[in-house]
């Protein structure tokens, strides 16, 4: 689905030197590379605080820990997503409240969010799924009317620009009270292992997040909070500093792939290409299509015989996952999410795709439907 080797080869000499220099410095934890990466990320995102941590799931967890939420408090999030978002809510003994998504963009449905609010609601976690932004005008408006926090799950849309209806432009992940992201290798800004970061413009929240990520201490051996141990390795930070300089160019390469697919599959009777929101640009973490009157499994098998990988993000809605079964929810409660889980398929998309590969993939997808 991604070509991490091809991408590495283009920046190999820089990356190799940075890794070796970090090893030679022996500053493996919280070294100067981490501080420089943090500062460069703050400048890139135009956000006051970037707090690096160990992975994207930790980033979400630490964000929620910083908001003083209490067991039983409700946190609203989208049902059609990766498990991490609901997982940390449940782990902290908060109550995940699931809402449906919009059928074209797969993003959290603001009307469903509004309808899910109760006196116990404390926060909303919109996910910028597959690389474009949820309706943050609506999220921030709902949040301010109901006095809620907004945590953006920005694991899939790092670098995307959000266009406020007022005309103001802001980076995804820096709009809500807190943003969380992941540097998992296959993410748009991926390191060569695990990594994550938390963003905020709020000084007090930023201070608290930094403390929680570091065992609840701001002075060594004095613990003011129960925290966690969540750090970004210096080696990963050194790699991310190099890749951050290429992030916009990587996003453009992904968009070019999406444009190619869009064109090849336009008006196809069995394929609905992904709708692009007008509220942000799209950094295409995934290229996800919805199939109509077609067998997804058969298409996938056919593509596999041609050595074309295809993935299902995501096959099971959260409310039907064994671990997240809840008497409040039953099959049929989330028609859009359930339909998408049954009919989406994602094609390879990455920064190193050649025209030849794209033509081979699209030709074979089209061929399958002619059979």
Ligand X SMILES: *Cc1c(COP(=O)(O)O)cnc(C)c1O
Interacting residues with ligand X (CB under 6 A): 55-57, 81-82, 84-85, 127, 153, 155-156, 182, 184, 194, 196
Shortest approach of ligand X to residue 232 CB, angstroms?
Answer: 11
Q: Tell me the DSSP string of 151-218.
A: EEE-TT-TTPEEE-TTS-EEETTSSSSEEEEE--TTSTT--SS--EEEEES-HHHHHHHHHHHBTTEE
Cross-strand pairs, 75: 96, 123
Q: Which residue, 127 or 290, is less far from ligand X as judged by CB?
A: 127
Contact 48, 201 (CB under 8 A): yes
Phi/psi at 248 (5° precision): -65, -40
Shortest approach of ligand X to residue 127 CB, angstroms?
Answer: 5
Q: Which residue, 19 or 155, is less far from ligand X as judged by CB?
A: 155
Contact 286, 156 (CB under 8 A): yes
Among 365, 351, 358, 344, CA closest to 129: 344
Kind and range of the H or E run holding 97: strand 95-99
Residue labelled with tokens 């096959």: 315
Q: Which residue, 1 or 294, is less far from ligand X as judged by CB?
A: 1
Shortest approach of ligand X to residue 370 CB, angstroms?
Answer: 34
Q: Which residue, 127 or 318, is less far from ligand X as judged by CB?
A: 127
Shortest approach of ligand X to residue 313 CB, angstroms?
Answer: 9
Query: Residue number with the shortest CB distance to ligand X?
Result: 56
Kind and range of the H or E run holding 243: helix 234-244
Q: How many CB atoms lie within 10 A of CB 331?
A: 9
Q: Which residue, 57 or 281, is less far from ligand X as judged by CB?
A: 57
Q: Which residue, 45 or 86, is less far from ligand X as judged by CB?
A: 86
Between β-strands 178-182 and 196-200, what pairing exists: parallel, antiparallel or unpaired? Answer: antiparallel
Rounded Cα distance, 210 and 83, in Å? 25
Shortest approach of ligand X to residue 142 CB, angstroms?
Answer: 20
Q: Which residue, 171 or 302, is less far from ligand X as judged by CB?
A: 171
Q: Which residue, 2 or 264, is less far from ligand X as judged by CB?
A: 2
Burial of 118: CB neighbours in 10 Å, binned 0-12, 13-18, 19+: exposed
Task: Indicate the SS3 state at residue 250.
Answer: helix
Shortest approach of ligand X to residue 175 CB, angstroms?
Answer: 16
Shortest approach of ligand X to residue 172 CB, angstroms?
Answer: 12
Cross-strand pairs, 220: none
């Amino acid at each position: 689905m991604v070509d991490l080797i091809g991408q590495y080869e283009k920046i190999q000499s820089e990356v190799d030197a940075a890794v070796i220099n970090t090893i030679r410095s022996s500053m493996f934890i919280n070294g100067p590379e981490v501080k420089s990466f943090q500062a460069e990320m703050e400048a890139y995102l135009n956000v006051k605080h970037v707090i690096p941590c160990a992975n994207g799931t930790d980033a979400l967890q630490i964000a929620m820990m910083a908001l003083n939420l209490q067991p039983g408090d409700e946190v609203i999030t989208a049902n059609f997503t990766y498990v991490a978002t609901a997982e940390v809510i449940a782990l902290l003994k908060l109550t995940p409240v699931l809402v449906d998504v919009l059928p074209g963009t797969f993003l959290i449905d603001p009307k469903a969010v509004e309808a899910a609010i109760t006196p116990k609601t404390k926060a909303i976690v919109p996910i910028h799924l597959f690389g474009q932004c949820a309706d943050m005008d609506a999220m921030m408006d709902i949040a301010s009317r109901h006095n809620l926090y907004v945590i953006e799950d920005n694991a899939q849309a790092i670098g995307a620009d959000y266009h406020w209806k007022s005309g103001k432009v802001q980076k995804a992940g820096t709009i809500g009270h807190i943003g969380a992201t992941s540097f998992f290798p296959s993410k748009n800004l991926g390191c060569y292992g695990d990594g994550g970061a938390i963003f905020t413009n709020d000084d007090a929240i930023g201070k608290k997040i930094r403390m929680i990520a570091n065992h609840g201490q701001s002075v060594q051996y004095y613990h003011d909070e129960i925290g966690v141990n969540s750090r970004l390795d210096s080696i990963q930070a050194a790699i991310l500093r190099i890749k951050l300089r290429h992030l916009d160019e990587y996003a453009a390469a992904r968009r070019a792939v999406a444009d190619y697919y869009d064109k090849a599959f336009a008006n196809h009777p069995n394929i609905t290409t992904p709708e692009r929101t007008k509220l942000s640009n799209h950094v295409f973490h995934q290229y996800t299509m919805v199939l109509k009157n077609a067998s997804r499994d058969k298409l996938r098998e056919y593509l596999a015989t041609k050595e074309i990988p295809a993935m299902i993000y995501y096959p099971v809605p959260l409310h039907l996952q064994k671990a997240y079964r809840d008497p409040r929810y039953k099959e049929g409660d989330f028609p859009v999410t359930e339909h998408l889980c049954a009919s989406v398929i994602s094609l390879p998309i990455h920064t190193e795709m050649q025209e030849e590969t794209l033509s081979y993939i699209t030709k074979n997808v089209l061929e399958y439907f002619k059979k």
